[in-house]
Amino acid sequence: MAKNPGKGRCVHCLKEVPERNWDHVFPKSWYPDTTPQNLEKWQIPSCIRCNRKYGKIEEDLIGRFAVALDSKNPASAGLVETAIRAIDPAAGRDDRDAAARLAKQRKFLADMYKGEEIAGAQVMPGLGERWGRPLAQQLAIKIPGEKLMAMTRKIVRGHVYLDNKTFIVPPYKIECYLAEDEKVKVVKELLDKHGKEYKREPGLVIRRAPVEGDPLTALYEITFWDQFRTYAIVSTGKALPRLSPRQRRALKRAQLNAWLQRRARKQGRPKARARSQVK
Ligand SMILES: [Zn+2]
């Protein structure tokens, strides 16, 4: 995919633009070291502006997630190390690069919390303490909820484009959620039964349960590095007549988890607990 896609519609902002380039659905830097060399990294046509905008979001998020991921999990192999190098001035190519790394380090450190500061904070499902440390030794880093939801929307748009070369245009919209596994059991059953898996192994997985007779309406689950998930519903927002009562209940249940987002907005950003590798 070396050649740029040229003029056309941007998958993200839907504008017709004179120039586009390839945007990675799962960011290139989010693939772990364990990714097979010959694995095709999904790409979609994006306007230059959206590509740049998402590039910034992706860089910020991976820096934060990486310190909260399990460095022993093959699905996120190498990401912790790469993120730490990215904020290490000593790894800089020159003075300017070293200064940029230091600035990033300061930004992340300002968003980190320790011990008692974490108590009572909202913890991202899947990214809580997994190393059995007492609270006093735990560290947490802020994960900007809006950025995570922007990434979820981006991946859903990208997947729809890859799957059938279509765009998600109004009245269709994408609603995104964070939810604890046990609170979305019915949603999971629905995905187990009707969902199709699209994998970029190890660890990056999209599951999509479509609604019969409607090419766009679907429930999505995106798994990141085998460690946490986001959910999305693509629909017109109106009643979904083709859904069985059971499916409708499942969707409603998932929508209830929007409280997580609203709460996050009200109480500040959700925090993910992180390993204490960044000093
Ligand atoms: Zn765009």
Q: What is the pLDDT along the chain (279 residues), one digit of tens a residue?
A: 568 999 999 999 999 999 999 999 999 999 999 999 999 999 999 999 999 999 999 999 999 998 889 888 999 999 989 989 999 999 999 999 999 999 999 999 999 988 888 877 778 888 888 888 898 988 889 999 899 999 999 999 999 999 989 999 999 999 888 888 877 777 888 889 889 999 999 989 999 988 777 889 888 999 999 999 999 989 886 655 556 666 666 666 665 454 444 444 554 444 555 444 333
Residue 204 lies in a domain: yes
Residue 44 is classified by DSSP as E
Cα–ligand 1 centroid distance for 56 (angstroms): 14
Residue 128 lies in a domain: no
Cα–ligand 1 centroid distance for 52 (angstroms): 9
pTM of the model: 0.87
- 204: domain range? 146-266
Residue 92 lies in a domain: no
Q: What is the number of structural domains in the chain?
A: 1
Cα–ligand 1 centroid distance for 234 (angstroms): 19
> Could you give the residue ranges of the DSSP H alpha helices within 69-180?
79-86, 95-110, 145-164
Cα–ligand 1 centroid distance for 11 (angstroms): 7
- List b or e across 188-204, with b for residues whose CB sees 16 or more CB atoms inside 10 angstroms: bebbeebbeebebebbb
Residue 49 lies in a domain: no
Cα–ligand 1 centroid distance for 28 (angstroms): 19
Q: 234: closest CA among 171, 192, 180, 184? A: 171
Residue 221 lies in a domain: yes
Residue 223 lies in a domain: yes
Residue 275 lies in a domain: no
Residue 107 lies in a domain: no
Which residues keep their CB under 5 angstroms from ion ligand 1? Answer: 10, 12-13, 47, 50
Site of tokens 């059953």: 189
Cα–ligand 1 centroid distance for 169 (angstroms): 13
